Structure 1
């Protein structure tokens, strides 16, 4: 049984390049070959196509194939086959323009109603959109079935301890819901690589005693700092999403301290998050590589679902085996 705490819907990734923010060019080049593999194209074929066609044109072809492959029915079947009982939907509110309207939470709200007890909705907040964004998040939580909130500080150009996020933290504290915060490297040229450093989570954790934070993407490449934070703050958790599991378990990749303490001091602070769609890697392959991690069986169970079950108050119980 698995709860995936960091992900989205296929259609959110497979949008046309014309709809994508220009700042995301680096991300498209970074993840495009991986998405192409999901569509049945090799990395070599992807880059060869970009030599004679624009990246936008190649990505349009990739997205078209993926949209057919990842229909909702096929998507749900993939999750069922991999024993993923809950799958995150991060409904991010991107951008730095306060004149834009808040991201629409209605569409995901319909999906949460249509497929109950299948997805965990994360309502996106944007501090540049102020009170209107906060109202949207409040409605998502109180009326539309969302169970968490999500923010990508690098997208907003603000650190997680910026006071413009504090009304959101107060809301999460009030409703006792977790917030997922991007806490790893970003690839935006005009944004500091240190903007998402785990240390920026400290002030909110100190100022809101009941605030539950999931540090997204493990805090890499600042793993020792991430571990120190996890050891100190009771309501801080972490996932390892968006990084291939085989490399996390490999020495000298920067994850050594995480793997060392996963079985002991931080075993109650780790949750499964894959971002398998972003990585362009089937969820079953992500799980297969995690099975190679040297985790105790009891810890693996906590990592896969028990810790998240507690954080999101899902009320799941381990199925009993019948003869």
Structure 2
């Protein structure tokens, strides 16, 4: 089964309530989003595109950046979409670490009551470094609840925040302090891909999300993504997790680009779903 680890279907409740801080993303991804049909698909058309691509399950993620940018995709909205479309979606919670104990209570409620299966943190939107002390209670709660955490790693294109918040080397300290924490670093660390691979080699609980980037770039010389393919088909073959980040990328095209890489069909199957299935304990 192909698992899309991260997409935002055309459901109004899953749109960020105030996303003006992400305006530069629309410039950077304009061509890809046009090809993906951003703004031109209703939900029925989207499900048809999912089926055509062969995707069996899509991970959808809540997000809370209220204290910094006044924006949120509520946990309750994600849980409702999961419940309304059985077998189609798996939901991750979103909390704002700047909210302190409120964030911890919301995370516990999202997992134990709403049934969400992981946590999504976009540190650059919270204006917090991955290893900021305000993140540590959140990480401890994830270990306690035994859920994985998705952490934005690498460059961000918001002109209202800093790329420094997502440098992959910051993950090393976190994982040394929380060796039981299961982390998915996505996107995959560009332009610090080598650093992310080094941290993943050190820590067996770190997976890498091949999300929001064109898979064909893994085979393009000097793109900066090449090491992902080398390590992802060898020592880290069990840790690569595919996601389209739709509407940032067309679903079928992204999957075809994975299949076209110089990797074996068995490795491609791991990236496209096998690794995510194991990580998410499906």
Same fold (TM over 0.5): yes
Q: Would you say the 8 A contact 1:216–1:239 is kept in 2?
A: yes
Q: CA deviation at 1:94?
A: 2.1
Contact persistence 1:90–1:124 (CA under 8 A): yes
- Give runs of aligned pairs for residues 25-40 of structure 1, distance below 5 A: 25-39=23-37
Distance 1:173 1:136 in 2: 15
Number of equivalenced pairs: 282
State the secondary structure of the residue aligned to 1:168.
helix
| Structure-to-structure mapping, 1:273-292, within 5 angstroms | 273-279=243-249, 282-292=250-260
| Structure 1 residue aligned with 2:3 | 3
> Match for residue 273 of structure 2?
305
Match for residue 96 of structure 1?
67
Inter-CA distance 271–15: structure 2 relative to 1 (3 Å threshold): closer
* 1:63-96 deviations in Å (ceiling 9; x for gaps): 3xx2xx222x322222222221110101111243
Normalised by the length of structure 1, the TM-score is 0.81
Whole-Å separation in 2 of the counterparts to 1:177 and 1:183: 19
Q: Which runs of 5+ in 2 are unaligned?
A: none
1:177-256 mapped onto 2 (5 Å cutoff)? 177-256=147-226
Deviation at 1:124, TM superposition (A): 0.6
Separation in 2, partners of 1:286, 1:304: 10
What residue is the counterpart of 1:59 in the other structure? none
| 1:12 CA drift (Å) | 5.6
Q: What is the rounded CA distance, in whole Å, between the counterparts of 1:156 and 1:148 in structure 2?
A: 18
Aligned to 1:22: 20
Q: Is residue 149 of structure 1 aligned with residue 119 of structure 2?
A: yes
Shift of 1:257: 1.2
Shift, 1:31, TM fit: 3.0
Unaligned runs of 5+ in 1: 40-61, 315-323
Superposed CA offset, 1:287-313 (max 9, x none)? 111111111222122111111111111
TM score, norm. by length of structure 2: 0.92
Partner secondary structure for residue 210 of structure 1: coil
User: Highest CA radius of gyration, 1 or 2?
Assistant: 1
Q: In the aligned structure 1, how far is the partner of 2:90 from the partner of 2:214? A: 22
